[in-house]
Amino acid sequence: MSVFDEREFLFVTGKGGVGKTTVSAALALSAVRKGKRVLLAMCNAKERLSHLLEVEPIGPRNRTVMPGLDVVNMTPAVALEEYGMMVLKVRSLYKAIFENKFVAAVLRGTPGIEAWSMLGKAYYHVDEKLDDGRPRYDQVIVDGPATGHALDMLRVPQVLTEVAPPGLLRDEADKARSLFTDRRRSAVVLVSLAEDMPANETVELYAKLEREVGMTPQALVVNSVLPKLFKGHEREAIAALPGKLDDASPVRTLALAGRQRAMREAAQQHAMAKLKRELPDLPRTVLPMLHVPDFRRAAVESLAEAFG
Ligand SMILES: Nc1ncnc2c1ncn2[C@@H]1O[C@H](COP(=O)(O)OP(=O)(O)OP(=O)(O)O)[C@@H](O)[C@H]1O
Ligand SMILES: [Mg+2]
**pLDDT digit string (tens) for 268-291?**
999 999 999 999 999 999 999 999
Strand intervals (E) in 28-157: 38-43, 63-66, 69-74, 139-143
Closest CA to 188 of 207, 174, 171, 170: 207
pLDDT of residue 103: 63
The model's pTM is 0.93
Name which residue sits closest to atom 12 of ligand 1, judged by CA.
19
CB atoms under 10 Å from CB of 144, counted, come to 29
Dist. CA 116–CA 221, nearest whole Å: 26
User: Pocket residues for ligand 1 (CB within 6 Å)?
Assistant: 16-22, 48, 146, 223-224, 287, 289-290, 295, 303
Each residue of 135-184: pLDDT tens digit?
Answer: 999 999 999 999 999 999 999 998 888 887 787 778 888 999 999 999 99
137, 125 Cβ separation under 8 angstroms: yes
For residue 13, the ligand closest to its alpha carbon is: 1
| Pair 169, 161: CB distance under 8 Å | no
Atom of ligand 1 nearest to the CA of 48: 17
Nearest residue to 286 (alpha-carbon basis) of 210, 224, 240, 233: 224
> How many helical (H) and strand (E) elements, i.e. helices and strands, does the chain have?
13, 8
Q: How far is the CA of 287 from the centre of ligand 1 (A)?
A: 12
Return the domain boundaries, the chain.
3-227+280-307
Beta bridge partners of 220: 190, 284
Mean pLDDT of the chain: 91
Mean pLDDT, to the nearest integer, of 54-80?
A: 94
Q: What is the CATH number of domain 3-227+280-307?
A: 3.40.50.300
